[in-house]
């Protein structure tokens, strides 16, 4: 079966899916997006993803392209038409097509909605068993990182820098030496005292849906949780480190900038939280 895309009300073969040349997403990155995991044909953490989408739309003063109920219907139809059992659904909303001017178009065009899906699997058993490596880089992004904007050039450059260094991810670092997040993940450490630490929500980081799920499970299990900033130096002294995202779940980090974290092997906190997340976060 060929892949099917959704473009502004139409289901089309992927090769025929097109947007207007003056779509503001294409010309200005004037839009937001979401990535939702699909497992056993079901959308994972659907409501939190939609909550974040609606928040991002509000923050850039963009009306939703349709009701939430209608959007869910389209998303499920995309999964059905593509026969997707395991993978991801990508959706994007832009301010639509209008003559190229920086200010908001007046009158406002209809928001543009596109969706695609693709097959994918969670990280490999080897990555869970052996862990992954990260490097640290300066955070050069704008000051509203809490909006899930389609403007991702700094993230792309950072991810490429990580790949060229032979690392899985790059942790971005503010001028004060504190870690904000990864280029496509949230960042975590477990201190030598056993505290689970991740940066608090705010304009500096994206409010990760998997991050929220992991936090809830950690608190439920009785772990000591600290939502605070941590430095690169503290991360390198930590007992454990890991990353979370829709596509990574909870993936152990075993070295930072070539220096081992803890004993250089995945830790038990990450493993237990990942297993708890796997059991609890498929939509039912």
Tokens read off for 48: 């939190």
What is the distance between the alpha carbons of residues 218 and 242, in angstroms, rounded to a whole number?
14
Tokens 């389209």 locate to 74
How crowded is the C-beta side of 4, counted as CA atoms within 13 Å? 17
| DSSP codes, 56-88 | HHHHTT---SS-HHHHHHHHHHHHHHTT-SEEE
Nearest to 66 by CA among 78, 53, 83, 85: 53
C-alpha–C-alpha distance, residues 237 and 242, integer Å: 13
Which is the catalytic residue, given 143, 148, 159, 236? 148
Q: CB neighbours of 164 closer than 8 A, spacing ≥ 6?
A: none
Catalytic status, residue 148: yes
Report the run of H or E that residue 159 belongs to, with start and end.
Answer: helix 153-164
The sign of the torsion formed by the CA atoms of 195, 196, 198, 202 equals negative
Which letter does DSSP use for residue 104 in this model?
A: P
Active-site residues, by number, are 148
């Amino acid at each position: 079966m060929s892949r099917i895309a959704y473009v502004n009300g139409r289901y089309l073969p992927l090769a025929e899916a097109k947007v207007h040349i003056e779509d503001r997403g294409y010309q200005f990155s004037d839009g937001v997006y979401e990535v939702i995991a699909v497992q056993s044909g079901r959308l994972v953490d659907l409501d939190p993803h939609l909550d974040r989408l609606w928040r991002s739309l509000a923050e850039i003063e963009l009306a939703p392209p349709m009701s939430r109920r209608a959007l869910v219907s389209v998303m499920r139809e995309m999964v059905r038409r593509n026969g997707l059992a395991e993978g991801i659904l990508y959706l994007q909303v832009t301010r639509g097509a209008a003559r190229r001017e920086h200010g908001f178009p007046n009158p406002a065009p209809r928001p543009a909605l596109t969706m695609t899906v693709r097959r994918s699997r969670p990280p490999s058993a080897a990555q869970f068993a052996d862990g992954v490596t990260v490097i640290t880089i300066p955070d050069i992004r704008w000051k509203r990182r809490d909006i899930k904007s389609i403007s991702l050039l700094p993230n792309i450059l950072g991810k490429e820098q990580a790949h060229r260094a032979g690392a899985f991810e790059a942790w971005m670092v503010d001028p004060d030496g504190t870690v904000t997040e990864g280029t496509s993940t949230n960042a975590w450490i477990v201190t030598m005292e056993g505290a689970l630490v991740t940066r608090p929500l705010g304009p500096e980081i994206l409010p990760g849906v998997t991050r929220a799920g992991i936090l809830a499970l950690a608190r439920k299990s009785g772990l000591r949780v600290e939502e605070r900033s941590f430095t690169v130096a503290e991360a390198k002294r930590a007992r454990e480190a890991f990353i979370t995202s829709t596509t990574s779940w909870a993936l152990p980090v075993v070295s930072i900038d070539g220096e081992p974290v803890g004993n250089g092997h995945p830790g038990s906190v990450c493993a237990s939280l990942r297993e708890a997340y796997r059991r609890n976060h498929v939509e039912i």
